[in-house]
Each structure stands twice: as C-alpha cells, then as structure tokens.
Structure 1
Amino acid sequence: MLNSSSICRCNIKRYPQSAQFDGKRFNNKIPRQQLGLTEFAKLFWDFAFNKPKNTAPESALPLIKLDAQQLAAAADNSVFRLGHSSLLFKMQGKYWLTDPVFTQRASPFKWFGPKRFQPAPIALEDLPPIEGVILSHDHYDHLDYHTILQLKDRVRYFLTPLGVGDLLISWGVASEKITQLDWWESKNIGGIHFVATPSQHFSGRGMFDSNKRLWCSWSIISDDFRLFYGGDSGYFDGFKQIGNKFGPFDMAFLENGAYDRRWADIHMLPQDTIKAFIDLNAKWLFPIHNAAFDLAFHAWNDPLNQIVTLAQEQQINVSMPQLGQGVQFLQPQQEKKWW
C-alpha cells in the first residue's frame, strides 16, 4: 500500500522571483552529473541485489532515551541527536527540530524502503511543545508526511525553502505558520536570525516533481551563537561564501553519510565534509546524516570512523554524541567512541 505522500497531487507553483528558478525547475549553480542508462541500471541492480552486509549494524546502537522532563532540565543552547539529520535544539528555552523523521522507513511505502536501525530516542508524542521545524528539502529521509501530520498542531513555525511550504499547506499545515524562503532570505524569530543559505542538491518525491521545490542549508544566528545546518549537499564554493558572510560558526552540522563517488556532487564524501567545515570557518564539527538509515554501500559506521581520522589529521574538533545525547554547542566536548 502506498503512503499518502508518495505521489504529490498538489499544484506545482512557479517562483519567478527566484534566481534559482528557470520557469520550470530549480537549479544548482553547477549542473548535476547525470548517470547514463547503463550506469543507472547497474546502480539500481546493486541497490536491489548487491548490497554489502555491513551497511546496517548487527545489533542496536547505544541510545539515551529522552523525555520532556529531561529536556526541560537540560541546559539552554543545547542540541540532541535524534538520528540521521533530525536534531532537537533548545534555544532561548524553546525547542526546534531539523528535518524530523520519526517513522520506521524513509520511503513513500510503509512496507518497503530504507528502514530505521532502531526507533528515535524520543517518541513524537513525548516531545515538548515545538517552537519551530526547520526543513532543508523534500526528500523522504528529511521530510516525512506522517511526522508532519502529528506535529502540525503542536508547532508554531515551519521554516522551509521555496515550494516545500506549499507542499506542507497541501498536507493541512496552516499557511500562517509557514515561512518559505529563497537562498539568502531570512526570518527573525525572537531574536534568532534564520537564513536560508545555498546548498548543492536536488528535490522531488515522485515521478513528476523533480526539482519543483528548492533545497537549502540554514545559518542560525543570534547575539549568543552562530550555527550552520547543512542539510544535504555536494561540496561546492557556496560553503566558503557562507563562511565569509556569516562565520565564524560555533558549530557546523554537516552531512557525513550515505555517500558514494557516483553521487559525490550531491552528497559529500568525508573528505569533502572536512573541506566544507574549513570553508565555513567553524569551531566544532557535528557530523549528521548517519546512524539511522541504510542509504548507500559503505559500512554503516564508515562515516564515523573516517570523519574522526580526517578531523584528527586536520586538528578539527568533532562532537560525536550518541543517539539521544545532548551537547551544549557553545561548550561542546569530545565524546568517547560509541560505535
């Protein structure tokens, strides 16, 4: 049975005001590499029948279970790892979620597709009231229909790139809660400046909506901190531009997982993540996009092992909390290896 969100039946809008929109689709500054038919067929075959056995852990990962009481007692200016790219921020005493996915599969299907290694460290119903949800793009491992349906009446703000907000409206999210932004546009909420910054990726949830919605990263800035949330991206010169404009960042949450040389232009390899971090002029690296779903051919813990080794070589501070663990992003620390 198809998930209700598998095929978008909403009217696709046009965004003539956006420099990224060509009248039909959104575009990267540098066009994506395109696989030929033979390469694509081989990739599909490998995903279906030729996956290594170590792309998922053999047993449950270490996890700290969370509840609203623990979160209330946690220090301000903290962030909690929920798995993949889902993070829970506590800023100014209020809670913000990035790309929340709480369902069992990152897929349009309930019975098929990438399955979570284990449940999130906190159930949706146990979350405290959420001030805002920050979305980077519309892919299933970053935007989940059922999660949004359960959150929509408990969230004050939804911040999205262009087009993603229109999709949320079609799902029943109140339009007055939604702010959708083009690259370099911003929204100030309670003294926190949320800037939709560029990324090099793509969008689409079905056969007919490819690149009909924009993708972005986020620079989150206040008088007390500067944070960068990368969403999904290949390595590109935009990181240096963002770093020059909004850095230095106290912490950068950067993609490190689900990579392969065949799609390195839209998902960074570990060495690219290090280059992006340096370009951003950040103090601490917090690797995301890992430890939740099997989305590539590398061992599930390869991103974690590689990024630690590369960071040590470059004398980069890395924060690697386990699932459910909180970190104060102005006073982080090097955590012990848990994987």
Structure 2
Amino acid sequence: MQILLMLIVLIAVTSFFYMRQAKFGKLPAGERLARIEKSPHYKDGGFRNLIEKPTLTEGYSIPGELYKTIFTKFPNRNPVDSLPSLKTDLKSLPIDSNLIVWFGHSSFYMQLDGKRFLADPVFSGSASPVPGSVKAYKGSDIYTADDMPAIDYMLISHDHYDHLDYETAIALKNKVKQVICGLGVGAHFEYWGYSPEQIIEKDWYEKVEVAEGYTIFTESTHHESGRGFTRSKALWLSFLIQSPTMKVYYSGDGGYDNRFAEIGRKYGVIDWAIMECGQYNKAWQAVHELPEEVARATVQLKAKNMLPVHHSKFTLANHPWNEPLNKITEFSNHKPYRLATPMIGETVHLNDDQQVFTKWWERVN
C-alpha cells in the first residue's frame, strides 16, 4: 500500500510540473475572464453547449471505452503505406485565385477574393502533448510553417491539440496578421507571444468585418475545449465566411444538432462546406458527427460543395483510418451537393465545378 501511494504521489507531482510547460497554454484571467463571464454561453464557471446533453451516449461508459481502446485490437486504424500527397508552392499561387489546399486532419489554407486564410494548422507531426503519441501518418505531414505565405486570418475553431498546435503557433507568429478564435482561446496566444492586436476573440453569433461586402461570422457548434484537466474555459466555434463572391462554412468539431438547418436558413445557399468527418465513435456521437450525419448536415446547410476534413492524418478513434472517406462517399450518393476528396496538398479550385477528384485512399494499404 505504501508503494502504491508513493507511485500515485510521484505521478501527481510529475504531472504537475510537466503540465507547467508552455505548450499547455494559459487559462483566461483578468479582463479576458471578466468579458467571458458576461457571455450568455458561460455558466457556472464554464462554457455550455446550447443543448445540454451527456458527452457519452447512453449505454457507454468511460472505463468501458478506455478498456476497449487499450485491450481490443481494432483493424486498419493506421495506414501501412505512405499517403499520397502533393507539395504545392503556396507562396506562388495567384492571390486572385479562389482555392483551398488541405493539409490532412482539419488544417487547410484558403484564398478567397484576395484574402489568405489558414485554419487549425498542425504542422508539428503530433496531435498530443505526450511525446511519441498520436503521430501523423507517413506522407501526411509534408507541410511546415515555413511553407505558408503571409496569412491575413488564422481561424482557430477550438483549443484541442489536434486543432491548436503550440509548435505551429509559435512558428507562425510573425506570418499571421490576425487570429480569430473563441472567447478565452486568446489567452494561449498571448501567453505564446502574440500581441493583443493580433488576437480577435469572439462569442457565438458575432462577426469580423474584413472589407465592404466581406465578413467572417462566428457560429456555434456542439463540442468542448481544454488543454489540461480544466475543461470548457475557452469557447469552440464554427465559421461562415461571406466574401464578395462566395460563402464558405467551416464546421470545426461538434456533434449533430439543428444548427445546420438554422445556418442554412440564416445565410442561404452556401458555396462550400468544410465539414468534420472522422475520429468519430457511436460512444461520443454527441461531440463528433457520424458520416451519415455529416451528409445530412451538408444538405441542411444548402451547400453546393462539401470538403470532408478531420481524417487521414491522426488516429483519434477506433474506426479504420479510411472509413470516413468510404462512408462519406457512400452517404453522398444522390445528394444535392458535390463531394470533393482531394489528396493532401492538392489544390481545390473553388470556382471550378468540373474539377474531378480521385478515390486516392483506395490505393493505400
């Protein structure tokens, strides 16, 4: 018993000092916290989803899911082969071209009517603060912060490690004009050396005026946040970008609810929907959509085109690595939107409705 207690104390002390590293970020305090506490979405010391429901689906338990993850062998969770990818020279792309380049998982670069965007960039090769865990697949990590041009707006959907990467944020600090993130997330960036002028923190249903006829709207999603043991101190977002010629929606992470139908009614037809589709499980369906829900949500958004993300770089669930692409392809049959499935690094031309995408994942073991 004494040995067990000593081990527990040792683990607690080690964890305490390990989590004091800069990569864990900073909780909001002072004026930032005072502003957060005025948000209608912040209650009893944390942000809340619009519809309160348990993270775990009824019939599932945290110990049960941990046991399955540790002791059950799930097939094909990681690709054996290197993923096919393209190294596009982002700095040489004409600024008047409307396009997206996806980097795997939820990271993507976008040019839209003369502005450059970068969303949830993770270029460190890892999606975890624990060394050696959650490593990027072979071939999926070919881009670095050095490959990025100057960025007008970096969009951060929430502060989980697979969306907000410390090493990447530090490397991009002098390339990013402004970061748009949820309330509280700015505390991390300020701690990491970003100036207050670079940081725009927003609640749900707010906006950033880019230029005449050009606005970034912050919308809700059903998810959570946190980089340590303290949860939900920073807000999670989705984004609707309305440029002079196009509307693009980025879902961020989150379970299915009626927000997609409401966004479709609010903004009308959306040209491109960039939708989370991967790292799901029936057990945590409340905070990560299943592929059939992604297809349903895209229809409700009235999207003309859909690009699925949150897959093909990190294993964060027990499904086969290529299942999200297989499933969303199946569920997108006979839907009113066009499905885009580019390889990592392949340029998606937003104004070209004739561009063809291959089922590249079918060639990968």
Please give the range of the TM-score, normalised by the shorter of the 2 chains. over 0.9
CA offset digits 1:77-118 (Å, max 9, x no partner): 10001110001001233421000111111011232x211013
Q: Which residue of 1 aligns with 2:233?
A: 212
Aligned to 1:186, the other structure's residue is in SS state strand
1:265 maps to: 286
Q: Distance in 2 between matches of 1:121 and 1:140?
A: 19
- The aligned residue for residue 50 of structure 1 is 72
Q: Which residue of 2 aligns with 1:60?
A: 82
Paired position in structure 1 for 2:333: 312
* Contact 1:129 1:155 (8 Å CA) reproduced: yes
Deviations 1:203-260 (A, max 9, x none): 111112x011110100000120000000001001111111111121001000110011
Give distance in 2, aligned partners of 1:5 and 1:43.
Answer: 30
Equivalence map 1:220-259=2 (5 Å): 220-259=241-280
- 1:127 deviation in Å? 1.6
Equivalent of residue 135 in structure 2, options 115, 121, 124: 115
Secondary structure of residue in 1 paired with 2:189: helix
Alpha-carbon separation, structure 2, partners of 1:121 and 1:230: 24
Distance (whole Å) between structure 1 residues aligned to residue 118 and residue 165 of structure 2: 13
Paired residue for 1:171?
192
Cα contact 2:304–2:336 (8 A) shared by 1? no
What amino acid maps onto 1:117 in structure 2? Y
> What is the SS of the residue equivalent to 2:67?
helix
Instruction: Choose the corresponding residue for 1:134, options 155, 167, 182.
Output: 155
Q: Deviations over 1:149-194 (max 9, x none)?
A: 0101111010001111122112211110111111110001234311
Between the aligned partners of 1:74 and 1:309, the Cα distance in structure 2 is 35
Task: Measure, in 2, the Cα distance between the counterparts of 1:243 and 1:135.
Answer: 22
Please state whether the residue corresponding to 2:333 is helix, strand or coil: helix
Partner of 1:276: 297
**Quick one: structure 1 residues 245 and 65, their matched pair in 2 at CA, closer, same or farther if it must change by over 3 Å?**
same
Tell me the residue number matched to 2:5.
none
Percent identity, aligned pairs only, is 33
Larger radius of gyration: 2
Q: 1:162 to 1:315 in 2, by over 3 A?
A: same
8 Å contact from structure 1 (residues 257, 290) kept in 2:
yes
Is the 1:32–1:266 Cα contact (8 Å) retained in structure 2?
no
Return the alpha-carbon distance in structure 1 between the equivalents of residues 211 and 299 of structure 2.
Answer: 30
TM-align CA RMSD: 2.0
> Could you tell me which residue of structure 2 aligns to residue 26 of structure 1?
47
Taking the TM superposition and a 5 Å limit, the aligned residue runs for 1:286-301 are: 286-301=307-322
Answer yes or no: is the 8 Å Cα contact 2:278–2:324 preserved in 1. Answer: yes
Give, in whole Å, the separation in 2 of the partners of 1:310 and 1:37.
Answer: 26
Q: Separation in 1 of the partners of 2:287 and 2:129?
A: 21
Question: How has the CA–CA distance of structure 1 residues 205 and 248 changed in structure 2, closer, same or farther, with 3 Å as cutoff?
Answer: same
In structure 1, list runs of 5 or more residues that go unmatched: none
**Compared with structure 1, are the counterparts of its residues 9 and 309 closer, same or farther at alpha carbon in structure 2 (3 Å cutoff)?**
closer
Gaps of 5+ in 2: 1-13
Match of 1:41 in 2: 63
For residues 46 and 127 of structure 1, what CA distance do their matches in structure 2 show? Answer: 39
For 1:85-100, what aligned pairs fall within 5 Å after superposition? 85-100=106-121
Give the paired residue count.
336
Residue 155 in 1 paired to residue 176 in 2? Answer: yes
Where does residue 306 of structure 2 map in the other structure? Answer: 285
Note if contact 1:183-1:197 (Cα within 8 Å) is conserved in structure 2: yes
> 2:291 and 2:147 mapped to 1: Cα distance?
34
Distance 1:287 1:38, change over 3 A: closer
Greater CA drift, 155-164 or 42-51? 42-51
Partner SS state of residue 314, structure 1: coil
Mapped to 2, the partners of 1:64 and 1:322 lie a distance apart of 7
Residue identity in the other structure for 1:243: G
Amino acid at match of 1:218: F
**Alignment check: 8 A CA contact 1:250 1:330 kept:** no
- In structure 1, how many angstroms separate the alpha carbons of the residues matched to 2:290 and 2:22? 30
Per-residue Cα deviation, 1:272-312 (whole angstroms, up to 9, x for no partner)? 00111011111011101111100111111111011111111
Deviations 1:29-74 (CA, angstroms, capped at 9, x unpaired): 11231449982112122223324130111111110012245x4248
* Corresponding residue for residue 189 of structure 1: 210
The answer to whether the 8 Å contact 1:6/1:109 transfers is no
